[in-house]
Structure formats: C-alpha cells, structure tokens
Amino acid sequence: MSIMKGSDAAKAVVRRNTEEVQSRGNFEVFDELFADDFVDHTPQPNMTPDKAGVRQLYRYIRDAFPDFHAEIHWQLSDGDRVTTYKTYYGTHEGPLLGVAPTHRKIHFESVDVMRVQNGKITDHWGVGNLFSLMQQLNALPISNGANGSESNESDFRLLINGKLVKGASTLDVINPATGRIFMTAPRADQAQLEQAVASAKAAFGTWSAQPLRQRAALLIKLAEALEAKQEDFARLLTQEQGKPLQQALWEIGYSIGALRYFATLDLPIEVLKEDATQKVIRQRKALGVVAAITPWNLPILLMIIKVAPALLAGNTVVVKPAPTTPLTTLKFGELCARILPAGVVNIIVDQNDLGAALTGHADVAKITFTGSTATGKKVMTSAAETLKRLTLELGGNDAAIVLEDVDPKGVAPKIFAAATFISGQACIGIKRLYVHDSIYDAVCDELGRLARETVVGDGLEPGTQMGPIQNKTQFEKVKGFLEDARQNGKIVAGGNVLERDGYFIEPTIVRDIPDNDRLVREEQFGPVLPVLRYSDLNDVISRVNDSEFGLGGSVWSSDRDHAFEVATRINSGTVWVNKHLDTGPDIPHAGAKQSGVGVEQGRDGLEEFTQATIINIAK
C-alpha cells in the first residue's frame, strides 16, 4: 500500500475533525477527504468495509480492547470518485486528537490502535488492512462464509486449586448490545468440577484454622485489588451484561464495599447463660465447601455477597456463574489466584449442565443460590440427599403501593427508576404498581413521559440510560409479555422492540390491565410495568399479598407513619417506605414465601455460613 505525506488540505480536514471531536466528546466523527489528496489503493477482495462494517469493526475493537483508542481509516467508491473517511474512537479518557498531522500519513483501509494514558501514547500499532487486524489481534470473528465466524481468542481461565487453567472446551459470550459474540470463555467438564470441589475440600482444614482476622485481612486485599481495577471490571461487566456503564461502576463499587464490610465482622464465642451450676456458650464453626451459584443480572455483586461471608467464616468456595455472564467472575478469579491460598476459591463455568452435579455433590456442605424459583426448587431437591445447608434468593414480583396523598410528578421518577433499573432485570425491582384512583391518570401520564424520554442503547455509549435485555432467551420472554400487554391492557408508552442489533426493548408502561393477567401474576424481568388502579386500602393490600412471591415491596405516601402501618401488612422479606431498591451489604435481605430461604447480607448473612455448636459446661 502506498502512503504519502498529508497535504495542507488533509491537515485542514484533521483540524476540523479535532474541533468536532472536542465539541461532541467521545463520539464517532466522519469527515470526507478529497481523493486527489491521496494515492489510490486497491484493497484485498471482499474486505472494503461499508459504513456499517466500520461501526462493527469499532465495536469489536472497543469490546476486545476497552482501554485502547482506535482510529479507523476507510474508503468507499462512487463511480470514479473514491471517498476516504476517518473515524475517531476513544476510551473514557477521551480520543487522541491530531494523530494524522503528527504521523504525516494517511492509511487507506487501515486501523491505528493506541493505548492512551494521561494524554500520551503508551502502546501503538498500525495495521495495513482489516484482514490483517483480524488475523493478528483476533479482535474480530473472521468470516469464512456468508454466516460463519470464529470467535475471539480469550485469556480468561478457570480457577482450580490456585491455578488459572483452560477449560475442557469453550463457550461463546454474547454482547447483548450487538447480539454477537465478543469473547469466548473456558467451559469446565465434569472432571474439572470434581477437581474444583476436591481442591476446596483439601484447602478447608488449613483455611478454617486460620485466625478470623487473618482471613479478614485477605478480604481487604481483595477489595483493594478490585478497586484498582474498578473501571476495567465495569467496562467488561457492561459488555457481557448490557447495563449502562454507570450502573456497572455502581455494581463494582458495591462489591468492593461488601468485601470491606464483611472484613469488619467477627464470630466470637457467645455466653448464652451462666449461673452457679452451668455456663452455656455458643460457638460458630465453618461448614466446609460452599457452592455459590450466581445469576446474570448482577453477576459480580451477587457473587461477592456470597463469597465474602463464606470465606470470612472459614469456608472454601466453588463458584459457578451464569454462562451468559462469566467474564467478570473469571477476572475476579485472577485476583483470588494472586491473593488467596490455593483451593480457597475455585471458579468453574458451564453451559447450565454441571449444576446438578455441583449441588448434589457429597463433598459440598452448603449451597448459596440466586436465580428463578423454578430452578431454586431443583437446587433444594438435589440438596436433600445429604441435607445440605441452603440459602436461596429466588424470584420476586415486587409490588409498590402509591397512596392518594403523593405528588405524581414527585413520585413517578423514583418509581420509574426502580422499575427499569438494569432494564427491569433486578430481583427486587418494582414489577407491579398499584395507584390510588384519584391520581391514577396523572401517575400513568408521568410514567409514560419518562419512558418516552429514556435513552436506550449500548451501555458503553455516553448518555445511555437503559441497556438491552441480557440474553436472547429472556428477550423472547419479554416480547411475549409485550404481546400480552397489547391484548389485555392499554400501552401508555413503549411497547416495541427496537429495530437494531442486540436485545433492545423500549421501556413500557401498561395501564388498565386486570389482576389475573400474566404480566401482573408472573415475574416479567424486563422493562414492562403494569399499573393497576385501586380505591380501597384493605382491598389493595389483599391484592398485593395474593402472590406466591414475597421478595420486596414498597409503600409511597406523604404520611410516613401511615405508610409504615401499611408496610407492616405487606408479606415480603423487605418493604421500603418512600423508596425502593435501597439496600447495602450491612442490611439483611431475605425472601418470603416462594421468594427464598435464608438470609443474605448483614451479620445474619454471615451466620448462614456457619454451624452453631452449643457447649454446656457444668460448674
């Protein structure tokens, strides 16, 4: 490929590019450069990208190398005229400006990829064409046919007995914002599961014998290591889960806080009773090997609030993340491999085919699981043979009651945020809303306005407020709820699947829908909120409690005392007043009815990972 020095005209174009990038921020900028400023170039067959192809190329570079800046140069032919375009992309640190005048050259159909730190290039390579980029960096699936592709090579590893190891096979990880493979993950087989459990069992004796404060100190080291990589973890989390980057940063921050919180706790021997004849004490001991099975909505947070108390109590752990979001958990495994003794934490990944073997394993003493109620019942069945200890955080259909004395404009944004957090995929998000007849229309109107104004898009794009549904299976399920809403209710706003790549659904508000509709009775786990009308308080409390679920709920009123009285009558594990989704690692969380068994978080959550021994001493 021939290259010539940039002309004055080219410099002027780059200058305009720079000014536009500065004014628009971290967005792509397309600028036309005149063909007579550059030499002609004939690309490799079938490798000339169109505009959509360049967008796709950037997404793959961004996803595979999130801390790199990419500058893409490409061309389109229009008869005898060749138009060359430049596309600037940058990281959160901002795009590198003025690259072309500095390099004094323009590449046809080329990519310059640079890591930029504090405004300086620390790593850089320029690849002559897109095909070379794909081959050299494995940053793209390389097409071998109309629809065939090979996925990215991956540095992710399982953690077994303190070593980062390849899986017996691999599985593809989809970026839900594109619907395409962006990484592969190692996949364990039965033999690797057995190795993970065996290593956890072997490590248990030494680990549980360590003083608790030494174990706590290692939790602090894990928190520090995670904090040092917070932005890297957050970007990876957004790529695999779909949530906006700010929500991903919040999740990693919560996880760091959870590690630090549990490191402050203790399990002292307690004197329960002492008199002239006896002294009765309670000692808490570790259980053994804990199986921690985590879901795809909050993959690292829900893993940390299981692993941290389990380790502090002296247990060892085998973690199995959801197959659609394994990457941040595997990255956390790298921190564990560096900080913890071998075998204390083990991480395996499956395609939902090793769950029964893990939960039914004779050497597993406890299972801590977050997921659907249907799967939770299977976990409980598999644990029955050896009467394993269980903590199950299961499905929820959280109801919010809005009393007649609230301001619709004041309450609607808070309710909308709690209903659409993680695109409506939060276990304790608002799933059904009951509004007093006197303000029903006003609340529906406000919620509809908020839904229409919400920016839905790729979580890594600036300004995105709501991301995609996490996986195709759930996407299809939510589409079914949309169809149900069209038939049995009135859609105030939304109701559509976005015509773009990925699993995007508009935030949807549905009114005038009956209580027996499946959108009200079932957990939709998506951004589709049914709004129901009521006039009698006793009646609405009865309707709210008429559910097999009881994870969370909320009451909204300008009279806090009255709201508290109503909250005491709601049959849920957690009930908020004038807020929702507000929790912390120091606040116990438990489900009622078919929403769970046991407690997570807080001191109660720590004690779930222990066996109480009562020692009665005669005097």
Q: Which two tokens stand for residue 466?
A: 């709501």
> Given 393, 446, 523, 600, which residue is catalytic?
393
For the chain, helix, strand, coil in percent to 5 are 40, 25, 35
DSSP 377-403: HHHHHHHGGGT-EEEEE-----EEEE-
On whether the CB atoms of residues 329 and 317 are closer than 8 A, the answer is: no
Closest CA relative to residue 424, chosen from 369, 491, 494, 484: 494
Burial class of residue 433 in the structure, from the number of CB atoms within 10 Å of its CB (0-12 exposed, 13-18 middle, 19+ buried):
buried
Closest CA relative to residue 241, chosen from 459, 416, 473: 459
> Given 240, 251, 427, 600, which residue is catalytic?
427
Q: How far apart are CA 212 and CA 216, in angstroms?
A: 6
DSSP three-state, residue 11 = helix
Closest CA relative to residue 291, chosen from 313, 272, 310: 310
Phi then psi for residue 433, to 5 deg, are -125, 130
Taking each helix axis as running N to C, give the angle between helix 51-64 and helix 130-137, from 0 to 180 degrees, rounded to the nearest 10. Answer: 20
Phi then psi for residue 381, to 5 deg, are -65, -45
Closest CA relative to residue 515, chosen from 493, 544, 490: 544
Phi then psi for residue 607, to 5 deg, are -65, -20
Q: Which two tokens stand for residue 145?
A: 């046919």
Measure the CA dihedral 566/567/568/572, to 10°: 130
427 is catalytic: yes
Encode 10-35: b = buried (16+ Cβ within 10 Å), e = exposed. beebbeebbeebeeeebebbeeebeb
The neighbouring-strand residues paired with 94 are 91
393 is catalytic: yes
Which residues contact residue 17 at a Cβ distance below 8 angstroms, ignoring those fewer than 6 apart?
A: 29, 31, 86, 88
The sign one gets for the Cα dihedral 49, 52, 58, 59 is negative
Measure the CA dihedral 442/443/444/445, to 10°: 50
User: Count of residues for the chain?
Assistant: 619
**DSSP 8-state code for residue 480:** H
Give the active site residues: 393, 427
